Amino acid sequence: MLMKSEQSTLLLIDVQERLMPAISHGQDVVSRCVTLATIAGLLDIPLLATEQLPEKLGPNVEAVKELCHHTLAKHHFDACPDGLVEQLPEGRQHIVIAGCETHVCMMQTALSLIDAGYKVWVVADATGSRNEFDRDVALDRLSDSGARIVTLEMVAFEWMRHCKHAAFRDVQMLIK
């Protein structure tokens, strides 16, 4: 199944300033999340983010904050009980998800979205955990549960569908 840009929403989970130094390859995760968010903006794809206890863990990194249409503060690990589903744009059943921590907040949110009937794609190279083993096990579990595991480039090119897309050159520059 291909993800479709007109049915997609990008969801970035807890890319928070104070959390990222503890995440394995945290700067790479931030960079890929920012690239995904920029591509979503170029393609008019709605972008939401979450922050886990922002009063304690701080806000999302500035570059993510600037690109998001809405940020949901939450206290549950799974963002759905804190109102995520109500914030998702109507008619968009494809949720592309990235962020931290893969094995806790990101995974629990993705599993709840699958249970709620959404089709979920997890951007593996834009996810992170403190421990890489936890991240890898979570990606396996998500795959077994029906999420599609993809990469940033897979998302970008599926959203555009062809090289004559108006944003193709801009997206290609971001990826290279």
pLDDT in tens, 32-51: 999 999 999 999 999 999 99
Q: What pTM, to 2 d.p., does this model score?
A: 0.96
**pLDDT band at residue 68 using 50, 70 and 90 as cut-offs:** very high
Q: How many domains is the chain partitioned into structurally?
A: 1
Cα separations (Å) of 31 from 22, 45, 101, 169? 15, 19, 16, 19
Residue 176 has pLDDT above 90, yes or no: no
**Domain residues for 42?**
5-175
Q: What's residue 173's pLDDT? A: 93
Q: What is the pLDDT of residue 7?
A: 97
Contacts of 175 (CB under 8 A, 6+ apart): 35, 152, 153, 156
| CATH number of the structural domain spanning residue 147 | 3.40.50.850
